[in-house]
Amino acid sequence: MDNQLNDAPNSRHAVDVKRMLHPYTDARAHEKAGPLIITDGSGVEVFDNQGKSYIEAMAGLWSVAVGFGEKRLVDAATRQMSSLPYYHTFSHKSNEPAIDLADRLVAMTGRKMEKVFFTNSGSEANDTVVKLLWYRNNALGQPERKKIISRKRGYHGITIAAGSMTGIPMNHGGFDLPLPGFHHLTCPHFYREGFEGETEAEFTERLAQELEELIEREGSETIAGFIGEPLMSAGGVVPPPAGYWRRVQEICRKHEIVVIADEVITGFGRLGTRFGSDYYDIEPDIMVMSKQLTSSYQPLAAIVMTDDIYQPVADQSSSIGAFGHGFTASGHPVATAVALENLDIIEERDLIGNAARLAPMLQAKLREFSDHALVGEVRGEGFIAAVELVANKTSRSPFDPVGVVGRELAAHAHAAGLIIRAIGDTIAFCPPLIATEEDVTKIITRFGLALDATTRTLP
């Protein structure tokens, strides 16, 4: 494999194996295989330390909207580093880029949002959302309203509360998660979760009834919020069935349950709209944003909330003496300055429009693989898609064990100069928003080569 190079004792490859514990990696397997070391990036391509180029069809981690090597973001960071490289936002302090970004994000939502709280990552942001709701409900005299509803295969991060909201077994196993009070509903994936003979409309209604039954069983007075990605991403790219979000919102509103849209991946153009909430007509009380907010050139996340969420929090902070939550880098001036420039680029180059224009091509070309012997389902919306590999197309039987074939395909994709992500045996695609028709064609061609190579290696 390409990453089994530079194995001299003092090479970075060897030092990585010796010194680093990698996220989302089998540590024992990594001791044998070692890393793929990326040294440079330009546009939709990245380059390893052997000079090999790859199309980054996952935009890093669903996040590099403007591509790699964007000089305007480097310059924005440099300018801010030269004037105010750091300052905090504790105790009435602030900085100009953070103020400007907060105002801009509220305006961009086009909704009833009023306030912004900054963190460094989506995980921290979703942890903060849980604390906000607990704090708010205590202020409202509803201390029993603490439970959170999410979905199986939903992804909301890996900190303690965020990891509890996440509905992926790997994120729970060995960590004693989820914590009590976090409930996971059926994943809204019709291909995998629909009953035999059930229509998509009937599936949607069954999931709605499951939500109603959970609320009745637990007591609506104990439930603080419902969190969901508009389109589930890290759980395998799962667009919701028609009418799903309408029914979820109806039920939550009836029971006064806060609706939280996790826009960490779907925000800032991924679906060809500003936010996934626009695409699916969601009117959340809280929106969580990160990743494409800075194209991941800087760590930054934002929680944008309605005044109805904010006011009890403000009252409680006054009663206690302060809002006792925050991070050293909340509203970091360099990160927020980069975010402002990143949003300028997205708007000036109409990258949201570009994603909307190229989405039909990406989706149609990937669906041409639907007849392939290994392909069970091709799915996606906008500029995000997935190809699910199966052992048997007719029965939809997965491979046993799950993940081996996906990893094999990912290795063949690397050899073909393509970086995708294998989520078990689901292959995810999430190109930078700057991608062109030529880039999409290359992604499809290289994926086809990898799929055929995988087929040849199977018994």
Q: Is residue 372 pLDDT above 90, yes or no?
A: yes
| Rounded Cα gap, residues 439 and 422, in angstroms | 20
319 CB-near residues (< 8 Å, 6+ apart): 139
Cβ atoms of residues 59 and 52 within 8 Å: no
| Rounded Cα gap, residues 442 and 429, in angstroms | 13
Residue 291, token pair as written in the block:
């990743």
Q: Where are the alpha helices (DSSP H) in 144-243?
A: 160-165, 169-172, 190-193, 200-218
| Rounded Cα gap, residues 366 and 440, in angstroms | 10
> Which pLDDT tens digit goes with each residue over 320-366?
999 999 999 999 999 999 999 999 999 999 999 999 999 999 999 99
**Confidence at 3, pLDDT banded by 50, 70, 90:** very low
Is the domain 36-66+350-457 a CATH 3.10.180.10 member? no
C-beta atoms surrounding 316 within 10 Å:
17
What are the start-end ranges of the E strands in 108-159?
A: 113-119, 147-151
Is the domain 73-348 a CATH 3.40.640.10 member? yes
DSSP per-residue codes, 324-392: ----TTTT-HHHHHHHHHHHHHHHHTTHHHHHHHHHHHHHHHHHTTTTSTTEEEEEEETTEEEEEE-SB
pLDDT at 111: 86
pLDDT at 293: 98
Q: Is residue 459 pLDDT above 90, yes or no?
A: no
Backbone φ and ψ for 390, nearest 5 degrees, come out as -135, 160
> Which pLDDT tens digit goes with each residue over 77-126?
999 999 999 999 999 999 999 999 999 999 999 989 999 999 999 999 99
Question: Mean pLDDT across the stretch 146-175?
Answer: 98
**Beta strands 258-262 and 286-289: pairing type?**
parallel
| Rounded Cα gap, residues 2 and 316, in angstroms | 56
3-class secondary structure, 446? helix
| Rounded Cα gap, residues 10 and 70, in angstroms | 32
3-class secondary structure, 110? coil
Q: Which residues of 21-60 are buried (b: 16+ CB within 10 A; e: fewer)?
A: eeeeeeeeebeeebbbeeeebebbbbebbeeeebbbbbbb
CATH 3.40.640.10: which residues of the chain?
73-348
**Beta strands 53-56 and 418-419: pairing type?**
parallel
| Rounded Cα gap, residues 444 and 347, in angstroms | 27
Which among 434, 338, 433, 428 is positioned nearest to 377, based on CA atoms? Answer: 428
Which among 450, 362, 360, 365 is positioned nearest to 408, based on CA atoms? Answer: 450
**Confidence at 7, pLDDT banded by 50, 70, 90:** low
| Rounded Cα gap, residues 386 and 368, in angstroms | 13
**Confidence at 10, pLDDT banded by 50, 70, 90:** low
pLDDT at 9: 57
pLDDT at 4: 45
Question: Mean pLDDT across the stretch 220-248?
Answer: 98
Q: Is residue 26 pLDDT above 60, yes or no?
A: yes
Residue with tokens 């849980």: 130
Question: Mean pLDDT across the stretch 37-62?
Answer: 97
What pTM, to 2 d.p., does this model score?
0.96
DSSP per-residue codes, 45-81: EEEETTS-EEEETTHHHHT-TT-BT-HHHHHHHHHHH
> Which pLDDT tens digit goes with each residue over 248-303?
999 999 999 999 999 999 999 999 999 999 999 999 999 999 999 999 999 999 99
Cβ atoms of residues 443 and 418 within 8 Å: yes
CATH 3.90.1150.10: which residues of the chain?
36-66+350-457
67 CB-near residues (< 8 Å, 6+ apart): 41, 42, 43, 44, 295, 432, 434
DSSP helix, strand, coil percent of the chain (3-state; round to 5): 45, 15, 40
